[in-house]
Structure 1
């Protein structure tokens, strides 16, 4: 299989990874950290996908997609931290005032897990942020040690995968997800 990671630009490809099976279902669409919480609560069902389509049309950086032989099989959300709720999050500290980018969600389609796609997605997200002039990329993965993590709640990624990608522990957080603390990991791109 040939894996290619590139910026998300095609709505149908994004929908294949983030959209619900039923159009009326209320799923995240990776908007929870991207938009103000009031808007996040107001957008229901199909309106969530319509909002993502509008963001894509506007050219807003949403993330990257991994393709295996032309089929979308993985997603990583990455955007300037200032454009996310991480800019105001009280549980995840700011290390400094650099205009860093945040990488906060990694998703690999069932049937394609265990193939190293999360590593390719992290690398692709970093390269995309670098190409957009980001001075650093931050991630907020679970610090689970060797403990198993429910796949539904593993979306922020795992600390060990970010360490393998060259990220360093920059700060502890007070955020806990699925019983595991989250840490702030950072990769300097300067």
Structure 2
């Protein structure tokens, strides 16, 4: 795997004080590399609290109620900031729309407006339900010398994907539902096996 690591920079946030680095991942047969962000506590203990969060522009930035992404991001940042003494890390992976990209995600939204669920919409566009890849996590954990984590996730596939890189203990991350994301969360549970 070819990748580059940026310098470290200070990142004060509304959740607390953090440090940040970017990992630039070069994908074979893809012109533009993926630039992931790692936001972490100044001191990382033996078992940090970790959230692997895939980019969701509509939820994370614009506060979309169609998903739980923005709320999960905020809750994870709050919990990491408060996790003493081991601190933690949020890895922000540039894998918009479960890996199909922003353009295709909006097309999937259009299909959802017509009654398709999130899995059906992806498949109707010719994609699997989830195309995300977590290979860069191996390099991130190696860089930060992380061998065991408390992982904030409801996704069993994420647990399986990270287990070769660190000893994983799962912690659920549950945020409030609303009328716009109830079906989305039901599909996550029923079709994707999420632990909700």
- TM-score with structure 2 setting the length: 0.38
Q: TM-score if structure 1 supplies the norm length?
A: 0.39
